[in-house]
Structure formats: C-alpha cells, structure tokens
Structure 1
Amino acid sequence: MISKEDARTLVGILEYFDFDGKRPTFYKIWKKKAVEEYSALPYLATFFNCGLWILYGLPMVKPNSTLVLTVNGTGFAIEIVYLSLFLIYSIPMKRLRLVAVVVAECFFLAALALCVLLLVKKPKSRSDIVGSICMAGNIMMYAAPLSIMKLVITTKSVEFMPFFISFFSFINGLCWTTYALLKFDAFILVPNSIGSALGFAQLVIYATFYKSTQRILAQRKAQGGDVNLAKIDAERNPNGDVLNGV
C-alpha cells in the first residue's frame, strides 16, 4: 500500500505540469512577436510566489520540504523564461513597468531572506514568518488571472484569458491542497484551497464567454485581418476601456 510520503511525492511531481500549461500562450506570443492584450500579472505573481516558497522550503527554514523547494525552484526558472518573452515582445511602456515590478519583487525576496536568515534564529519562527507571507503571495498568484476580467467583460471574449492557465490553476490548487492534507501544513493548505476555488471560478467565467469569443474570432477571420480585439468591438463598446496594463 502506498505510504503518505510516496503519495506526497507523487502529488508534488504533478505540480510540474502546472508550469507547462502556460506554454501554449507563449507560443502564440512568440509566433506573433507581440504580447497583444495578454497580461503579465499572472506570471509576475507566479514568479514572486515561487521565490517565496523557495525560501520557505530551505532546510534552515522548513526542514524536510524538498518537493516544495524543487518544484518552486523549477517554476521560478520557467517564469524567468516567460517574463523574458514578455520583455522582448512588449511595447516600451509595458516593458518599463515589467522591469520595475520584477526588480521590486527581487529586492523584496532578497531583503526577506536576509532578515529571516540573519535575524531569526529558530527554524520554527522562520517558517512561521515566511509561511505567513507565502500564504498572502499564493492567494495573489491565484487571483492574478482575474486581472484580465475588465477586458473579458468589455469585449465579451476570453481570447486573452488563456484556458490552460485557468485549468492548471484549478489543478494546482487541488494538488497542493492534497499535499498539505497528507502531512498537515496550514501554510500550504489554506491558500491552495482558496486557489482551487478561484481556479474553478475562472473556468466558469471561461465557459460563460466561450461562445461569444468564437463569434468574435469568426468575425475577425471574415474581415480578413489580424485585427485587435478591442477594434473589432469598437462600435459595440464606443467608450470601452480595454485593460492594457503590465
């Protein structure tokens, strides 16, 4: 019979597929050589979140958390690649904001690591401090894809709300929730149970606007051009304020 540790290992390995779920989006960005209306917020949030969990998984902070360390270390590296593509194919203003946010996140991670490792002596206190911050960062990561909601509602389209990000966000939350339950860890359990609920909400939103998205894409194809989604709906939404953030 499979042990709890083996089950946790299996669940942890499944987490690697969450990062791969974003690959189709970046293939589109690379092919078109433009980020269009895709938002970098989910990737910035995941980059920051992985950095926090790397710190949490260090032996001097939370012993016996190898999977937390390795999974998030891999995710951190993958997010660097994704953000690099955003940096290359963004317009100058977006590129500047992206760099500013990444620098701020790295500064915070470095400052937190130094403070915790140098000023806090007990591992239990270290894990409590970092774990509490990880919870907030994790919830932010799950909520980040919802930042595109303004565009979705304005255009009645989920074209720039990638399905696989929402799907794997839901699966990611379920996997880490299971992982935390097998060997109870409240810092992992609480944000990921919330995350699975947010992921499910994103899937509901995707399903709600899927048909209208197909109609818009068909209209664009009929017009014979790769027209920006906002321009296609300009007449229907003359005062539409399309999300054009980071």
Structure 2
Amino acid sequence: MNLLDFKEPLATIAAFCTILQFLAGVLVCKKFYKTGTVGDTSAFPFIAGFLSCSLWLRYGHLLNDNSVIITNIVGAFLQFSYVICYTIYTTRKISVLRQFLAVCFALLLIITYMQYMPDNTTAKAHLGFICCCVTIVFFAAPFATLAHVIKVKSTESLPFSMIVANTIVSAEWMTYGFIIDDAYVEITNSLGCIISGIQLSLFLKYPSTPSKGGKNIGMI
C-alpha cells in the first residue's frame, strides 16, 4: 500500500489532535478568570504560540496544504485570544504588550522578506528554516522546568497529560512530513518527539510529589 494513501486520514487526525491541544489554553484562561490573576504563569507560551502558528500558516500557503493552513488559522486565533485574556488579568500589561508588538513586528518583517524571494522553492526553504528555529525555541522552553525537576527530584511541576499530547501530535506531524516529503515538517516534529520523550522519561525516574528527605523514590 502506498504511503500517500494515508496522507489525508493522517492529516485530518493530526489537525484535529493539534486543535484539541491548542484548546488546552482555555483551561488556563478559565483559571485566570476564577482567580482574577495570572499568578506566576508566563505569557511566553501564548505569544510564542501565536508567532509559531502565524509562520506555519504562511508556510502552509506556500505548500498549498489545507491541513496545515486550517490547523494554524485556528491556532493563531486561539493564541491571540489567550494573549488578550492574559493581558486583561496581568499587572504587567505594558510588558506583555511590548512583547506581543515585538513579535508582530518580527512577523511583519518575515512576511515582507518572503515577498522578495525569487521563486516558491526558495521561499519555502527560507521560511521553513525560520519556522523550524522558532518552533525549536518554543519546544526548548520547558528545559528550564526540567532543570527544576532534576534539582527537586519531583515531576510535580510537569503536566503529564500535556506532554503525552505533545508527543502524539509531534509524532503525527512528523509522519505526515515524511509522507509529503517535507524536511522542515519532519525535523521540527522529530525534535518535538525527542524533547517530549526526555520529559516523559523523567516520570520513570522521579515521583510526582517531592520525596521526604530529598531522596529519590522513583522507579529507577
């Protein structure tokens, strides 16, 4: 059976799972509403998510791939909504607005730069590389949390269900990238799988609650 036979079903499943993953931000915003504050939550995931989805949306247009386009239209809209919600409940409104405007300015520069590409192939290569870099930074953000997990020997601060969802979604898009023969989709989501795998491995080594006396009572 030809791999292309799986292209449309996999694209539909991957798009559906990714949108469900994006909707996790609704629960975060619901918490903001109930408590009236953002607490220690950072705006970075929402702002970086908006930039990432916007860039992949433009890349989807270059690929003429409806699955990539639809997924990132929904993603960009949701992340933008989360940024607005965060801004309403944070005391650092000016700082958040500056970050968001900086991201919008960078996005405008990149899109303008793409207009001067001599052909579609060159545009895809340049934008694909940029998308990879931005998404890798987004994927790498949790490593600050990983250092904390190793220090306290507890995975209490890691959202297990979200990491599992990240692994599944990354694996789906990695496979889709292989089917459509797109190196940028493959590489980006391969790294996503690796980073999520590293996070999941910590659940085998450390308990979900701090151990008494600082001793590790994990499985390994």
**Structure 1 and Structure 2 fold alike (TM over 0.5):** yes
Note if contact 2:155-2:207 (Cα within 8 Å) is conserved in structure 1: yes
* Paired amino acid for 1:137: V
Note if contact 1:41-1:147 (Cα within 8 Å) is conserved in structure 2: no
Q: Aligned to 1:30, which of 5, 9, 33?
A: 33
Partner of residue 112, structure 2: 114
* Paired amino acid for 1:77: F
Partner of residue 71, structure 1: 71
Note if contact 1:46-1:141 (Cα within 8 Å) is conserved in structure 2: yes
- Counting only pairs closer than 5 Å after superposition, residues 49-198 of structure 1 correspond to structure 2 as 49-58=52-61, 61-62=62-63, 64-92=64-92, 95-117=93-115, 119-149=116-146, 152=149, 161-198=158-195
SS at match of 1:3: helix
If the length of structure 2 is used for normalisation, what is the TM-score?
A: 0.82
Note if contact 1:22-1:165 (Cα within 8 Å) is conserved in structure 2: no
Q: What residue ranges of structure 1 are gaps of 5+ in the alignment?
A: 216-235, 237-246
Looking at both structures, which has the greater relative contact order when contacts are Cα pairs under 8 Å and sequence separation is at least 6?
Answer: 1
Q: What residue ranges of structure 2 are gaps of 5+ in the alignment?
A: 215-220
* Paired amino acid for 1:44: I
Which stretch of structure 1 is more off in the superposition, 193-202 or 127-136?
193-202
Q: After superposition, what is the alpha-carbon deviation per residue over 1:10-59, rounded to whole angstroms, capped at 9, x for unaligned? A: 2333321221233333322221122212222222221111111011111x
Q: Distance in 2 between matches of 1:78 and 1:173?
A: 19
Partner of residue 196, structure 2: 199
* Paired amino acid for 2:24: G
Note if contact 1:53-1:134 (Cα within 8 Å) is conserved in structure 2: yes
Q: Distance in 2 between matches of 1:206 and 1:138?
A: 24
* Paired amino acid for 1:4: F
Q: Distance in 1 between matches of 2:139 and 2:173?
A: 13
Partner of residue 231, structure 1: none
Note if contact 1:142-1:198 (Cα within 8 Å) is conserved in structure 2: yes
Query: How well do the aligned residues superpose, as a CA RMSD in angstroms?
Result: 2.6
Q: How many aligned positions are there?
A: 209
Q: Answer yes or no: is 1:8 the counterpart of 2:17.
A: no
How far does residue 76 in structure 1 lie from its aligned partner after superposition? 0.5
SS at match of 1:44: helix
Q: After superposition, what is the alpha-carbon deviation per residue over 1:114-134, rounded to whole angstroms, capped at 9, x for unaligned? A: 1212x1131111101100101
| CA separation of 1:97 and 1:154: change in aligned 2, threshold 3 A | farther
Which stretch of structure 1 is more off in the superposition, 192-201 or 148-157?
148-157
Q: Distance in 2 between matches of 1:120 and 1:27?
A: 43
Q: Aligned to 2:50, which of 27, 32, 47?
A: 47
How far does residue 151 in structure 1 lie from its aligned partner after superposition? 5.6
